[in-house]
């Protein structure tokens, strides 16, 4: 089993914020691959499905971003999952909007959701799907940027990226991150 975690914040008024692109991605994957309905468990919402022949538990922590690791740790402990069976989908300031990169391990780069996961799991050695939201240009504007809603001009690239990630998800589930990134890039090249 794989644990795919979408990072975001639970308030309905935050649903369209850039910081919630992880939730948006997981929702799109769950719809595309026919996951079970979302239900409460592990301080979050969970849905189960099969992606590319692999059983996947989708998890959206309802703990707020800064405590996401509490939810992830509970699910990982319950299913006895090693960090490498976990993938976090999260917003990434250091990538242009719509760019998607996958890596295993690494630092939190100031992302409080990743920082919480590192602390709770005791290891940064899980997979990350970094979803580019762009940088506002100056560090003083970062908080307002990530907590701001996507603008209308973002709609085309955002929908294309969410669809591409959901379409390519079987490659990710099969442990082929390079092929996954290539497929997403090809599918979004006209809008990015």
Quick check: helix, strand or coil at residue 101? strand
The pLDDT tens digits of the residues spanning 71-117 come to 999 999 999 999 999 999 999 999 999 999 999 999 998 899 999 99
Asked if residue 126 lies in contact with residue 177, where contact means CB atoms within 8 angstroms, the answer is no
pLDDT tier for residue 192 given thresholds of 50, 70 and 90: low
Q: How many domains does the chain have?
A: 1
What 44-49 contacts at long range (C-beta under 8 Å, 24+ apart), as own/partner pairs, is 44/71, 44/75, 46/75
Domain range enclosing 183 = 2-188
- Sheet of strand 44-51, all strands in order from the earlier edge strand to the far edge: 39-41, 44-51, 54-61, 2-6, 86-92, 127-132, 100-104
Q: What pTM did the predictor assign?
A: 0.97
Find the CATH number of the domain harbouring 17.
3.40.50.1470
The percent of residues in the chain predicted with pLDDT above 90, rounded, is 95
Mean pLDDT to the nearest integer, 137-143 = 92
Instruction: Report, as residue numbers or ranges, the catalytic residues.
Output: 19
């Amino acid at each position: 089993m794989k644990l795919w975690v979408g990072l975001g914040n639970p308030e309905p008024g935050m649903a369209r914020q850039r910081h919630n692109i992880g939730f948006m991605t997981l929702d799109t994957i769950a719809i595309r691959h026919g996951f079970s309905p979302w239900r409460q468990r592990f301080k979050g919402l969970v849905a189960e499905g099969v992606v590319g022949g692999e059983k996947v538990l989708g998890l959206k922590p309802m703990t707020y971003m800064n405590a996401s690791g509490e939810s992830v740790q509970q699910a990982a402990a319950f299913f006895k999952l090693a960090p490498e069976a976990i993938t976090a989908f999260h917003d990434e300031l250091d990538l242009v909007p719509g760019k998607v990169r996958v890596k295993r391990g690494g630092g939190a780069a100031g992302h409080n959701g990743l920082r919480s996961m590192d602390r709770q799991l005791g290891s940064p050695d899980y997979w990350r799907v970094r979803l580019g939201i762009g940088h506002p240009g100056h560090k003083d504007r970062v908080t307002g940027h990530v907590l701001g809603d996507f603008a209308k001009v973002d709609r085309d690239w955002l929908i294309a990226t969410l669809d591409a990630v959901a379409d390519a998800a079987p490659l990710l589930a099969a442990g082929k991150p390079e092929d996954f990134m290539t497929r997403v890039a090809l599918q979004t090249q006209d809008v990015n």
